[in-house]
């Protein structure tokens, strides 16, 4: 089976992780997509990457225009990716491209729609939001499988938009991929104040910045804040200036997957709180950081009311709050070394499968994709037989 993965950003680490899963499962995979950043990669997880054009975070209209250009040249794209047996499209703009490629190829190959976020434009109540939702519903009528990274996306968004008329769905959490799940008790930062909080990943939440910066400014004896990752375009123009010269808070720049162990074992707590799209996407998602931090038994801090909070509560781990601005300082002031060790032990005792995807997860995904292809081929054969009769 030849699979083509059409992606919104070739430089996204989560894209690399999915390609690695497909490779581990033995699927012949091609990768094509847009890219963000200064340069596109020549390969993704060892697979040659076909770079289409550059797009920009936060500029959905520009991304839509780029997708329209690719859709209008879908025949060339179909040839370039080898006329695949199955198309996997990551995000809405790539779903539109995938449908155009299928039409251009003249073969009714299955299409999988993979969703890791519900974009805020899809949630607008005006004509723009209604138009995008209608377009998504139209494409989903002839899409074979919907994959989401959080069950809340199905419950809170797609069930309301599609009702009974959507495609079959599957939850595939964006876990850290690791073929060796052996737990090694490496040394880590000693328990005790100042308590170290790591805020890692895409840095996009002003309210989180305000809460953490205020605490670091008021109580440098109590807390140290480590910020690492990529600031979201349009939120923080200069994150270094935002933090300023605080002794108890610093921004250490971007990182890659090889840095994860050092980052998470260097802090006591993992900041898993996000207000960026409050009452919408931020309430529903399961962020990468809960899997990364969980892989290294770092204690997460989260909001009770979110899907992240419910996910952590089911595992019996983490510190769940209603209002961190009011509760965080008091929690840290009263936190004893013994209580922290209990929290960390709970994280260490959680099943590794909650945080890490292994070979069986890769094989399971491959079996699902192969099943889609067999179902499509059977339907086509039945249609031919009916016409012959």
Asked if the structure places residue 186 within a domain, the reply is: no
Asked if the structure places residue 36 within a domain, the reply is: yes
Same domain, 172 and 256: no
Asked if the structure places residue 185 within a domain, the reply is: no
Asked if the structure places residue 189 within a domain, the reply is: no
Question: pLDDT-derived band of residue 382, with 50, 70 and 90 as boundaries?
Answer: confident
Same domain, 257 and 300: yes
Same domain, 363 and 337: no
Give the rounded percent of residues in the chain with a pLDDT score beyond 70.
Answer: 97
pLDDT digits (tens, 9 = 90+) for 113-136: 999 999 888 999 999 999 999 999
Asked if the structure places residue 323 within a domain, the reply is: yes
Domains of the chain: total: 2
**HEC string for 278-343:** CCCHHHHCCCHHHHHHHHCCCEEEEECCCHHHHHHHHHCCCEEECCHHHHHHHHHHHCCHHHHHHH
Question: pLDDT-derived band of residue 367, with 50, 70 and 90 as boundaries?
Answer: very high
pLDDT of amino acid 181: 54
Same domain, 367 and 346: no
Flag whether pLDDT at 238 surpasses 90.
Answer: no
pLDDT of amino acid 185: 56
Higher per-residue confidence, 256 vs 175: 175
Asked if the structure places residue 105 within a domain, the reply is: yes
Round the average pLDDT of the chain to a whole number and report it.
Answer: 91
Same domain, 63 and 166: yes
pLDDT of amino acid 6: 96
Q: What is the CATH number for 267? A: 3.40.50.2000
Flag whether pLDDT at 183 surpasses 60.
Answer: no
Same domain, 87 and 48: yes
What are the b/e assignments for 287-320, b being 16+ CB within 10 Å?
bbbbbbbbbbbbbbbbbeebbbbbbbeebebbbb
pLDDT of amino acid 241: 83
Give the rounded percent of residues in the chain with a pLDDT score beyond 90.
Answer: 69
Domain that includes residue 140, residue range: 2-178+358-388
Q: Which of 35-49, 140-154, 164-178 has the highest mean pLDDT?
A: 140-154
pLDDT digits (tens, 9 = 90+) for 270-298: 999 999 998 899 999 999 999 999 999 99
pLDDT of amino acid 182: 58
Flag whether pLDDT at 251 surpasses 70.
Answer: yes
- Angstrom CA distances, 361 to 89, 119, 367, stand at 19, 27, 10
Q: What residues form DSSP beta bridges with 299?
A: 269
Question: pLDDT-derived band of residue 387, with 50, 70 and 90 as boundaries?
Answer: confident
What are the b/e assignments for 163-190, b being 16+ CB within 10 Å?
eeebbebeebbbbbbeeeeeeeeeebee
pLDDT digits (tens, 9 = 90+) for 295-314: 999 999 999 999 999 999 99
Asked if the structure places residue 266 within a domain, the reply is: yes
pLDDT of amino acid 83: 82
Flag whether pLDDT at 248 surpasses 80.
Answer: yes
> How crowded is residue 200: how many other Cβ atoms within 10 Å of its Cβ?
25
Asked if the structure places residue 328 within a domain, the reply is: yes
* Mean pLDDT (whole number) for 179-187: 61
């Amino acid at each position: 089976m030849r699979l083509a993965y059409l992606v919104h950003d070739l430089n996204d680490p989560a894209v690399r992780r999915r390609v690695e899963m497909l490779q581990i499962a033995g699927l012949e995979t091609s990768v094509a997509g847009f890219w963000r950043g200064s340069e596109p990669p020549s390969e993704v997880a060892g697979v040659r990457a076909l770079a289409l054009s550059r797009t920009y975070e936060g500029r959905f209209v520009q991304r839509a225009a780029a997708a329209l250009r690719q859709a209008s040249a879908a025949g060339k794209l179909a040839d370039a990716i080898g006329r695949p047996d199955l198309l996997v499209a990551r995000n809405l703009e790539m779903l539109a491209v995938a449908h155009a490629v299928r039409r251009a190829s003249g073969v009714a190959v299955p299409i999988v729609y993979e969703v890791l976020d519900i974009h805020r434009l899809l949630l607008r109540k005006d004509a723009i939001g209604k138009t995008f939702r209608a377009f998504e519903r139209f494409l989903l009528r002839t899409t074979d499988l919907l994959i989401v990274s959080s069950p809340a996306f199905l419950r809170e968004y797609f069930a309301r938009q599609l009702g009974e008329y959507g495609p079959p769905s599957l939850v595939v959490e964006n876990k850290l991929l690791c073929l060796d799940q052996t737990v090694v008790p490496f040394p880590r930062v000693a328990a005790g104040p100042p308590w170290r909080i790591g805020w890692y990943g895409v840095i996009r939440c002003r309210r989180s910045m305000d809460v953490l910066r205020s605490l670091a400014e008021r109580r440098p004896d109590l807390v140290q804040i480590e910020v690492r990752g990529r600031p979201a375009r349009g939120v923080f123009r200069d994150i270094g200036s935002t933090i300023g010269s605080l002794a108890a808070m610093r921004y250490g720049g971007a990182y890659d997957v090889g840095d994860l162990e050092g980052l998470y074992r260097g802090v006591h707590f993992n900041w898993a709180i996000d207000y960026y799209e409050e009452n919408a996407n931020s309430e529903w998602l399961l962020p990468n950081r809960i899997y990364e931090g969980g892989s290294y038994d770092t204690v997460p801090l989260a909001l009770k009311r979110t899907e992240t909070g419910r996910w952590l509560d089911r595992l019996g781990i983490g510190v769940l709050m209603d209002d961190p601005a009011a509760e965080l300082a008091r929690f840290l002031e009263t936190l004893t070394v013994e209580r922290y060790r209990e929290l960390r032990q709970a994280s260490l005792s959680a099943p590794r499968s909650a945080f890490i995807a292994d070979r069986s997860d890769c094989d399971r995904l491959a079996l699902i994709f192969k099943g889609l292809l067999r179902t499509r081929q059977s339907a086509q054969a039945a249609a031919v037989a009916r016409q012959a009769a």
